[in-house]
Amino acid sequence: MVQELTHFIGGKHVKGTSGRFADAFWPMTGEVASKVPLASKAEVRAAVENAKAAQPAWAATNPQRRARVLMKFLELVHADYDALAELLAKEHGKTIADAKGDIQRGLEVVEFCIGAPQMLKGEFTDGAGPGIDMYSLRQPLGVVAGITPFNFPAMIPLWKCAPAIACGNAFILKPSERDVGVPLRIAELFLEAGLPAGILNVVQGDKEAVDALLDDPDIKAIGFVGSTPIAEYVYTRGTAAGKRVQCFGGAKNHMIIMPDADMDQAVDALMGAGYGSAGERCMAISVAVPVGQATADKLIEKLIPRVESLKVGTSLDPAADFGPLVTQAHLDKVKTYVDLGVKEGATLKVDGRNFKLQGYEKGYYMGGCLFDNVTKDMRIYKEEIFGPVLSVVRAKDYNEGLALANDHEYGNGVAIYTRDGDAARDFASKVQVGMVGINVPIPVPLAYYTFGGWKRSGFGDLNQHGPDAFRFYTKTKTVTSRWPSGIKDGAEFVIPTMR
């Protein structure tokens, strides 16, 4: 039975009224799973008004009490962990183990945000001038919003909403219409944890809903994660409307393999980072850069049998390395990129295009693909494929490998595998990429550091989670205070100083 889903506004499930719906599918089987309502501008506005009415009382709640709601939310999620992971796996296509990782990395940010009382402390200077004290306050912005992608339906919504809520804002989440069940469940659990109705709202929708959020004068800040063209669109339109905006886009993450690297370790890293979650990660390694001919030949020799032996299965198969892709349209797009790579002259060493899973022939499955002899002028190198496709670009020396990462338009994540500390240190210093791994294939920082790419992988001055999240979701007010104590006042016509 196809279920009709809802929005979540004011602490209640609300049916869509626009008359427009999108089909969401089970990637494992290709069947329609649910009908997702697509909000009109009026429906978005209703959510904003609800959030605006609820926010002042939440902002007036002290940070310690707000943190207790987050603590209770963590407790509830852990009690519901297995069911939430299964729902996520079914909707998205990733394996259960990967779904649990998705949830866990989101919860780690919630754990960090429990420190809101510490993070929101301002500064104080006693005796800044004669009888004068100065102090600063961090105050919430008001109503803020997040537009999140399909590939991490738990992690990224939590990265966005948890710090916003901890800071005293009301939050409107517009998740991907491809897998909305988990975001709805998160909203339910926050309400159960004691979050006041209206502080976290979930509005389903497409471009009409996005534009309504971008244009609404009561939305003070917006966070986005998705493709670079849409990130740039959201950033441009949002900032033109006077909003604070942070947007994270596409990636083409390189792994440099030096001649002295532990090759077995490097191959293990490439397999997990390149093919995990069917490559549908913005931090996936999609380009391997072996340095030197001998290194490249050895790498290819070890990679081929590993890619050929990848186990593709259903999301519920505990033995599967990865499951189906998210939609038929996305599967077709990834296969088209493989066709293009062959046409461009790259050597397709392993071809997974024709993979079919017995009993699940209508599911969105694809085997791993491996290209060798990819060059930097090819589209399969320049563009983000977002699928189980790894390209090997051979570099004659370290400087050429470094230049590949530096010259690419994307600058999200990068890794180097080496035993040489000098090479690693030089690489970390010189590479023009936001997140760097040294013998770490997916360098996603822990929650108390910030996550963000450079160049066309990121738009805006502040990153996700860590201290930047508290800066992004608050505004600073500085107070200069003096209490009369017999000091003779008179008009002053020069700029005040503290002399």
- Catalytic site residues? 282
For the chain, the helix, strand and coil percentages under 3-state DSSP, each to the nearest 5: 40, 20, 40
What tokens were used for 143?
């109503």
Phi then psi for 398, rounded to 5 degrees?
Answer: -60, -45
CA distance 477 to 240: 24
CA distance 357 to 13: 37
Candidates 15, 449, 473; CA nearest to 199 is 473
Question: Is-contact 215 238, C-beta < 8 A?
Answer: no
Candidates 172, 161, 173; CA nearest to 66 is 161
Query: Can you spell out the DSSP letters for 196-225?
Result: PTTSEEE---SHHHHHHHHH-TTEEEEEEE
Question: Is-contact 320 95, C-beta < 8 A?
Answer: yes
Q: Is 468 helix (H, G, I), strand (E, B) or coil?
A: helix
What tokens were used for 116?
């809101």
> Cβ-count burial of 492 within 10 angstroms (0-12 exposed, 13-18 middle, 19+ buried)?
exposed
Phi then psi for 354, rounded to 5 degrees?
Answer: -95, 15
CA distance 136 to 479: 6
Question: Is-contact 328 335, C-beta < 8 A?
Answer: no
CA distance 67 to 134: 27
Question: Is-contact 312 355, C-beta < 8 A?
Answer: yes
